[in-house]
Amino acid sequence: MTAFADEPLLEVERLRVTYGGSVLALDGVDFSVPDGGAVALVGANGAGKTTALRAVTGLLRFHGGQVTTGTIRFAGRSIERADAASLVAAGIGQVLEGRRVFADLSVAENLRIGAFQNRTGRPERQIRDELGELFPMLAERADQPAGQLSGGQQQIVAIARALMAQPRLLLLDEPSLGLAPRVVAQIGEALRTVNERGCALLLVEQSTALALRVTEHAYLLETGRVRAHAPTAELLADERVRASYLGTSAVPVA
């Protein structure tokens, strides 16, 4: 199964998702991520961003949701009915909402768990050393329980754990939530490097800072539909988009 050269790595078309058979969370959503590209899904709370990621990772069923119609293609193959484990094996990695680390395990042990899903032949040690260069904290605090780290450091561990599997596409659900701007900048820089080394990114964000730093194209989700999409800087500079997306407008109300 070879994909056509110009085919996106991930292509979502007319995706409809319901929860409990009645709550319509996504209503005909289209978006795509080029191979090696970096794309953002932005939108207010409840817009359907997390649902879109769950559809791609096969995790909807664990939340009472299902894809009712539409297609999801990854690397030339239909995956809308695939199970979560086979999607990881196919090269889809993810960083779930809320910096999930194994708090009682050391940083090094957290990374080892990520390496169990390594689908490439690359030695674990080599990947770990590479990530240690990207995030020096990982090496410095290798033996420390992850639960003792700051929020930003835990987010780095969560991202690095996903990268230990060497995914072709990494999905991130609001990784900058609650982090200081300095930490967001650091994570942004590292994600750019990860992307430059060939890993495609699909970043879900409610805040604009990381999307602007890391992605080249962005889709605005609003109540389960794509309202607009454009190069990230262009989309996020649009005043109407900012008003709907951030829930506030910089234009004074007359």
Ligand X SMILES: Nc1ncnc2c1ncn2[C@@H]1O[C@H](COP(=O)(O)OP(=O)(O)O)[C@@H](O)[C@H]1O
Q: Could you tell me the sign of the dihedral formed by the alpha carbons of 99, 100, 103, 106, in that order?
A: negative
With CB under 5 to 8 Å by kind, the binding choice for 160 among ligand X, Mg ion, none is: none
Whole-angstrom distance, CA of residue 38 vs CA of residue 36? 7
Kindly state whether residue 96 participates in binding ligand X, applying the rule CB under 6 A.
no
Cα 173–Cα 175–Cα 179 angle in degrees, nearest 5: 150
Whole-angstrom distance, CA of residue 46 vs CA of residue 25? 8
Kindly state whether residue 46 participates in binding ligand X, applying the rule CB under 6 A.
yes
User: Which residues contact Mg ion (rule: CB under 5 A)?
Assistant: 49-50
Please select the residue that binds ligand X; options are 63, 77, 122, 197, rule is CB under 6 A: 63
Whole-angstrom distance, CA of residue 124 vs CA of residue 27? 41
Kindly state whether residue 45 participates in binding ligand X, applying the rule CB under 6 A.
yes
Q: How far is the CB of 97 from Mg ion (least distance, A)?
A: 6
Scanning 58-207, the segments in alpha helix (DSSP H) are 84-90, 107-115, 124-134, 136-140, 151-163, 181-196
With CB under 5 to 8 Å by kind, the binding choice for 217 among Mg ion, ligand X, none is: none
Q: How far is the CB of 83 from ligand X (least distance, A)?
A: 18
Q: How far is the CB of 22 from ligand X (least distance, A)?
A: 9
Residue 82, CA distances (Å) to 58, 217, 239 in order: 6, 27, 39
User: Look-up: residue for tokens 């390594």?
Assistant: 118
Q: How far is the CB of 51 from Mg ion (least distance, A)?
A: 8
With CB under 5 to 8 Å by kind, the binding choice for 63 among ligand X, Mg ion, none is: ligand X
Q: For the chain, list the strands marked E by DSSP.
A: 10-19, 23-33, 38-42, 65-74, 77-78, 92-95, 169-173, 200-205, 217-222, 225-231
Distance of CA 96 to the CA centre of its chain: 8
Kindly state whether residue 55 participates in binding ligand X, applying the rule CB under 6 A.
no
Window contacting ligand X (CB under 6 A); options: 45-53, 66-74, 76-84, 143-151: 45-53
Kindly state whether residue 25 participates in binding ligand X, applying the rule CB under 6 A.
yes
Please select the residue that binds ligand X; options are 50, 57, 153, 155, rule is CB under 6 A: 50
With CB under 5 to 8 Å by kind, the binding choice for 152 among Mg ion, ligand X, none is: none
Kindly state whether residue 23 participates in binding ligand X, applying the rule CB under 6 A.
yes
Count of residues in contact with ligand X, rule CB under 6 A:
14
Kindly state whether residue 47 participates in binding ligand X, applying the rule CB under 6 A.
yes
Kindly state whether residue 208 participates in binding ligand X, applying the rule CB under 6 A.
no
Please select the residue that binds ligand X; options are 8, 48, 58, 93, rule is CB under 6 A: 48
Are 110 and 157 in contact, with CB atoms under 8 Å apart?
A: yes
Element (H, E) at 236: helix 232-237
| Terminal CA-CA length for the chain | 58
Binding stretches for ligand X (CB under 6 A): 19-20, 23, 25, 43, 45-51, 63-64
